[in-house]
Amino acid sequence: MTVSEAVREHAAEPADELEVGTGDGGAPARRAITRWAWRLFRREWRQQLLVLALLTLAVAATTIGVAIASNTLSPVDATMGTANHRVTIPGSDPNLSAHIAAIQKMFGPTEVVAHQPIAVAGSVATVDLRDQDPKGVYGHATVRLAAGRYPNGADEVAVAPPVAATFSLHIGNVWHQGGRDRRVVGLVENPQNLLDEFALVAPGQAIPPNEVSILLNTTDARFRAFHLGDVALSVEARSYAGQTAAATAVLALGTIGLLFVGLVAVAGFTVMAQRRLRAMGMLGAIGATDRHIRLVMLANGAVVGALAAIVGTVVGLLGWIAFIPHLEGLAGHRIDWFHLPWWAIAMAMLLAFLTAVAAAWWPARSAARIPIVAALSGRPPRPQPAHRFAAAGSALLLVGLSLLAFAHQKRPPLIVTGIVAITLGLLFLAPLGIAGLAVFARRAPIAVRLALRDLARYQARSGAAVAAVTLAIGIAATVAVSASAAEAEAVPTAGNLPTNQLLVYLAGPGPVGGGARCPNRRRRNSRSSRPASINSRPCSTPRTWPPWMRR
């Protein structure tokens, strides 16, 4: 059978009779259209650089944002490691061993850590002499050897860098503390809290313990059902809610950013569709259906979205890796490169892809509706009457603003839905604005007149662009107004200082003197090794602080 015969057989029609069905070519047709769209993208990708760059930037920023948000809080608790409960029993408990055995019997694998405080001369802070197995089942994540080795013998110790700095210790030195001499054999740190001031000794060497922590994994319900006589237990349970909430909030912000990018993309794809109008007319002339013509633009949008999602994620991950050393210093704990909320990153990629496809959909729909003859001659479609979507736009705008008002800046679903509604509302209202501007064209100078007439003539792309600009200004204005309102309403708080610093409040009319604490004054958080600030001014004049002292 020749190729022509095969084709003829496929057509399955008698030679002198035509039967016209409703088939649209199925998968081969879609493949052919997608191939053409891909080739066009390869030829014309420079013309889509703005949309590509904006989408890539949005995905990269979201990736870095969710990574920072979820890693600012330590993924593993600094005190309980990978356990989800920490029970603390006072060292003075006469039945300490029996109680530890009871807990171990009830909850299975546990890890016991003994603590003994060591006073630091001239400071209210203490150093925690910690008797802990560095390879413990739960606590291993809270101990890391930085140099030397772990202590093995009774007279050996490994100290954390802050302790080494406080006592001027180096590996090989002998540390005289608590009436004992211990040789420093290593430097250790708590990767989950780099400010943790502790000294690690071999198991059984923190005697007598001030308190004993028992790390274990169990459920809250099971733990509530457990009773241990009249011992004063202190119990902590960990939660992952903070990390998830932070990542969700950043993802919500990323979605809002993608909405803005989506509007710009609508304008970009509309320009692209108008450039390809003749080719799409030709496609229609040789038998492409409306669906095929839509697919040309949708495939282009999908390619742009997929490319931006992949490149944006790679750029975001590289940026994240570069930022980790700085973030570790800021967050005060070590950060695992690949401890990332992958679900949020995948969601950002998917949103970018969907944004590009959705942005391409409107121009695709318009292009498919243009009569073939008009498309072949390159004539743009006649603009729709501006008032047609104005009512829907106004309603969406009102709904969006109402949702934002009800959200009280605290409910991400309402905020995102509200901004989506506002965006659509602006998109629908933009033609009315453009038509309004065009009214002034008649009396305007020639350059302005041409610009306004062009805006009105190419309503689809100028409408999307106007909506994008309006949304960007709206977001900026909303953020500025909300921040100012929050600043004005916020209750000032006292500064948080680390345990080795002391904030001394001096009150009274004179420059230096005794008096009551002034809790309403905000102070700079002096986490660094700078000396504690001393207020030498009266409480009644809080606004006279120099700017660098205010948070």
Partner 1 sequence: MTAALELRSVSKVYGDGPTEVQALREVNLSVEAGALVAVMGPSGSGKSTLLTIAGSLEDATTGEVLVGGLTLSGMSRNDRARLRRRAIGYVFQDFNLLAGLTAVENVALPLELDGVAARTAQAAGMEALEQLGLSDQGSRFPDQLSGGERQRVAIARAVVGDRRLLLADEPSGALDSVNGEAVMRLMRAACRRGVAGVVVTHDAQLASWADRVVFLRDGRVVDQTAPPLGPESLLEPSPSQ
Residues 91 and 213 sit within 8 Å (Cβ to Cβ): no
Asked whether position 494 contacts partner 1 by CB under 8 A, the answer is no
Which of 23, 122, 204, 546 binds partner 1 (CB under 8 A)? It is 23
Provide φ and ψ at 131, rounded to 5°. -105, 100
Q: Is 17 in the site for partner 1 (CB under 8 A)?
A: yes
Nearer to partner 1, 283 or 426 (CB): 283
Name the residue nearer to partner 1 (CB basis): 140 or 278: 278
Query: Of the ranges 130-138, 289-297, 415-423, 446-454, which one interacts with partner 1 (CB under 8 A)?
Result: 289-297
Q: Can you tell me which of 31, 149, 222, 550 binds partner 1, judged by CB under 8 A?
A: 31
Q: 212: part of which helix (H) or strand (E)? A: strand 211-216
Buried b (16+ CB within 10 A) or exposed e, 118-139: bebeeeebbbbbbbbbbebebb
Exactly one of 50, 290, 407, 539 binds partner 1 (CB under 8 A); which one? 290
* Residue 494: burial class (beta carbons within 10 Å; 0-12, 13-18, 19+): middle
**Segment near partner 1 (CB under 8 A); pick from 39-47, 393-401, 448-456, 526-534:** 39-47
Choosing from 195, 372, 475, 539, the residue that interacts with partner 1 (CB under 8 A) is: 372
10 Å Cβ neighbour count for 25? Answer: 15
Range list of β-strands (E), 149-189: 156-159, 174-177, 180-189
Residue 273 interacts with partner 1 (CB under 8 A): yes or no:
no
Among residues 379, 317, 276, 260, the alpha carbon closest in space to that of 48 is found at: 276
Which token pair is 46? 């420079």
Q: Of the ranges 8-16, 63-71, 142-150, 421-429, which one interacts with partner 1 (CB under 8 A)?
A: 8-16
Between the alpha carbon of residue 522 and those of residues 281, 492, 493, 529, the distances in Å are: 67, 6, 6, 19
Calpha distance 463→232 (Å, rounded): 68
- Stretch touching partner 1 by CB under 8 A, among 5-13, 71-79, 111-119, 231-239: 5-13
In the structure encoding, which two tokens stand for residue 395, read together?
């309603």
CB nearer partner 1, residue 106 or residue 374: 374
299 vs 30: CA distance, rounded Å = 10
Exactly one of 119, 373, 398, 473 binds partner 1 (CB under 8 A); that residue is 373
Q: What crossing angle do the helices spanning 342-369 and 290-331 adopt, rounded to 10°?
A: 150
Q: Does residue 18 belong to the site contacting partner 1 (CB under 8 A)?
A: yes
Q: Interface with partner 1 includes 29 (CB under 8 A)?
A: yes
Asked whether the beta carbons of 51 and 265 are under 8 A apart, the reply is yes
To the nearest whole angstrom, how small is the minimum distance from the Cβ of residue 388 to partner 1?
Answer: 20
Interface residue with partner 1 among 231, 252, 279, 358 (CB under 8 A) is 279
Instruction: Choose, by CB under 8 A, the member of 16, 230, 487, 489 that binds partner 1.
Output: 16
Query: Which residues are bridge partners to 86 per DSSP?
Result: 215, 236
Give the single-character DSSP code of 48: G
The owner of tokens 């409960």 is: 85
Residue 241 contacts partner 1 per CB under 8 A: no
3-class state of residue 468 by DSSP: helix
**Is 306 a residue that touches partner 1 (CB under 8 A)?**
no
Q: Which stretch binds partner 1 (CB under 8 A): 22-30, 247-255, 449-457, 536-544?
A: 22-30
Measured from the CB atom, the residue of 10 and 551 that comes closer to partner 1 is 10
Tell me whether residue 155 or residue 290 sits nearer to partner 1 (CB atom): 290
| Residues 184, 159 contacting (CB under 8 angstroms) | yes
* Residue 284 interacting with partner 1 (CB under 8 A): yes
Q: What's phi and psi for 221, nearest 5 deg? A: -65, -45
Residues forming contacts to partner 1 in the complex (CB under 8 A) are 2-4, 6-8, 10-11, 13, 15-18, 20-26, 28-29, 31-33, 35-36, 39-40, 42-43, 278-279, 282-290, 292, 371-373, 376
